Structure 1
């Protein structure tokens, strides 16, 4: 069944140029909303995953981990079809296949056929009728490492996600990895750049630590938006406020560059809160005076989806981003 879109194909072709930066579920949620309003989307995706199917493929074949790339391609697919479900299918058994995601395998196979990852992403995008494009943050084999609050060091995104001591800083290994030229061009011509929602230390910050990205964010004429997470993440951001998230971004970037912060002020169901509390997570505290002192404009909206998890509502979030772009253009 064809998706019930709010705007015509022609209007979407003339829509704003938006670059989204992140990874994981948060980025996919944002893209599902934005694709209904514009086709001019570029998703810049972190490539430090070393766990699950992506980690196995990376370790065995030396490829860019395909998981977050696959998630974004499916999120940008024109229709919710059987093919989308095929790309998300995970094998439950089979020697060597168990745990692998079919979309990951197809991306890796297409990279071998076409000769490179970017061509593979484009070809898979054609199959899914993707609106926009997906770009890995870098094509180099990079690992994510962290210094913890007790001064110890660990390597690997999966290990960082499991920390209990708190993260002091993260860094890439090697630190001088380069972005794609397409990423730099997209940042230069963008109407908006959106960071988040998503895991602060493992989805958002790794992208801006790729060499030259911060400088591109400082040069661009785009409005630069940070979407605050709704909930904290155990270990990574225990007790973090909205301003704490932003300060961590600035500490790693070495520069202040954000124009807007989008913050959820909608209620979260008690049943959901109880579950998150049991898992060591809590709502991200909104500290407006501190955020305002950073020179950032604040947009407060009810953005919680009415589902089984405390995620952003795709359409509500997309409308907020588009509203900021409209206001900026005057």
Structure 2
């Protein structure tokens, strides 16, 4: 074998090995000079620069080399057969995530962030399209004081997709308890500072995602400043996302429709592209009128969803929301979404994931005190619906709060994609032997063809 073949392009690892060697060499020169000059009692700056440069080069080489190592393990790659078994399951998991289905989640707030934490275990190709209609709380203050888009829902989705240390997540979720910053989230301030540095909210979100090693992409639905309005059943108009549920509850009126001002706003083109290329588009869970529907009011979003070849899935809420969806059934949630999506050429929902799990009585009472009750699932809605219902127990209780069982919802979604899009079963992600066998089988078929 010609030893020069080692230099042929292939796994793209050799360049990083050489860069790492250069880093070691640079660091060694710096350390050697320091040791030589140290007795003289006079230390110059340039040896420290050599050491710093060397360390930077070694970190870059280590990081990029590992990325190249993961990416080289494609379908049928021979390296898969000889790679150490101790690392193979991890490498394969990351490789499969990189090659995983393209998922778009549309919404905002707690609902989207909970779902994203489950989805990221199976694919890295996730795009979260997030509402920017929030005008309350700490986000509202930053929006008013700095003239920026509200960062709160964006922050929640970034953290849900982030691959970061628990301490860093706690830091970014921390809310100040005293002084002029009382109630303000450190994560919101971080995004606000990044917005000031970059001068662009989209770039600020991207830079924040890079810092936190986000597995996927988080996008605001638009970069324009929008205000959410609601028309109640009695004809009264309520201004502001934060005021809508409060006024509706005070007046004892249900929401008839919501709208945005200005009425014509441009969506982010990257968001439209993600919808167009998606394998699955997920609406919800989350606040119906203040998190999910505002996204559909932005020009082109509803029609782009309908035109996409992706599976369109609605994940229904488990509980109603006071002042927004009091007494709503699953069908009434869907009806509101379809109505606000406009005259789309095709349906924007194919499948509905709904809960029928039992909720403990003590939690029913707890939520009842907050004017919230379980979202009902009516038999006639299911039997007469044009949508496919996937009904199961999706309830999880955390610290006496009801949440979706994010792992079960995620597995249900990926099984649905596997069945409908003829993509192999991603829910068996941890089965090394199954994955290895599948990759070999696909490679053999490709060679035969």
TM over 0.5: yes
Structure 2's unaligned 5+ residue stretches are 1-88, 423-449
1:169 aligned onto 2:257: yes
Task: Specify every segment of 5 or more residues in structure 1 that has no aligned partner in the other structure, as ranges.
Answer: none
| Shift of residue 207, structure 1, vs aligned partner | 0.4
Counterpart in the other structure of 1:265: 356
Residue 50 of structure 1 contacts residue 156 of structure 1 at CA under 8 Å; is this kept in 2?
yes
Q: Are 1:223 and 2:311 an aligned pair?
A: yes
Q: How does 1:3-152 map to 2 (within 5 A)?
A: 8-95=93-180, 97-152=181-236
Q: Does 1:248 align with 2:336?
A: yes
Report what 2:415 is aligned to.
Answer: 323
Match of 2:297 among 209, 230, 240: 209
From 276, 286, 304, the equivalent of 1:188 is 276
Bigger Rg over Cα: 2
Q: What CA deviation, in whole Å up to 9, does each residue of 1:84-140 have, x standing for no partner? A: 111111111122x11111111110111111221121112111221111010001110
Identify the residue that residue 71 of structure 2 maps to in structure 1.
Answer: none
Aligned residue in 1 for 2:402? 310
Secondary structure, counterpart of 1:158 in structure 2: coil
Give me the whole-angstrom Cα distance separating, in 2, the residues matched to 1:167 and 1:33.
Answer: 31
Aligned alpha-carbon RMSD (Å): 1.5
The offset of 1:210, in angstroms, is: 0.3
Measured after TM superposition, the shift of residue 80 of structure 1 is 4.6
Tell which has more relative contact order, 1 or 2 (C-alpha 8 A, sep 6+): 1
Look up the match of 1:297.
Answer: 388
Q: Would the aligned equivalents of 1:5 and 1:36 in 2 still touch at CA under 8 Å? A: no
1:84–1:128 CA contact under 8 A, matched in 2: no
Shift of 1:168: 0.4
State the SS of the aligned residue for 2:401. coil
Q: Comparing both structures, which one devotes a greater share of its residues to helix? A: 2
The within-5 A match list for 1:280-295 is 280-295=371-386
- How many residue pairs get aligned? The number is 326
2:112 partner SS: helix
**Displacement after TM superposition at 1:292 (Å):** 4.7
The Cα shift of 1:324 comes to: 1.3
Q: Structure 1 CA distance, aligned partners of 2:121 and 2:254?
A: 38
Task: Tell me the secondary structure at the aligned position of residue 184 of structure 2.
Answer: coil
CA shift in 2, pair 1:68/1:5, >3 Å: farther
- Of stretches 147-156 and 71-80 in structure 1, the one that deviates more from structure 2 is 71-80
TM superposition shift of 1:257: 2.1
Superimposed CA distance per residue, residues 62-86 of structure 1 (whole angstroms, 9 cap, x where no aligned partner): 1010000000011111245211111
Q: TM-score, normalised by structure 2?
A: 0.71
Partner of 2:370: 279
Give the distance between the partners of 1:154 and 1:202, measured in 2 at CA.
12
Task: Specify whether residues 215 and 257 from structure 1 end up closer, same or farther in structure 2 by C-alpha distance, changes over 3 A only.
Answer: same
Match of 1:147, SS state, is strand
Query: 1:291: how far off?
Result: 4.0
Specify the SS of the correspondent of 2:353: strand
Instruction: Determine which of 228, 232, 237 is the counterpart of 1:153.
Output: 237
Counterpart Cα distance in 1 of 2:355 and 2:165: 27
User: Retained in 2: the 8 A contact 1:40–1:132?
Assistant: yes
Q: CA deviation at 1:161?
A: 2.3
Deviation sequence 1:32-69 (CA, Å, 0-9, x none): 00011100000000101111110001011110100000
Confirm or deny: 8 A CA contact 1:46 1:68 kept in the other structure: yes
Contact in 2 for aligned 1:242/1:291 (Cα 8 Å):
no
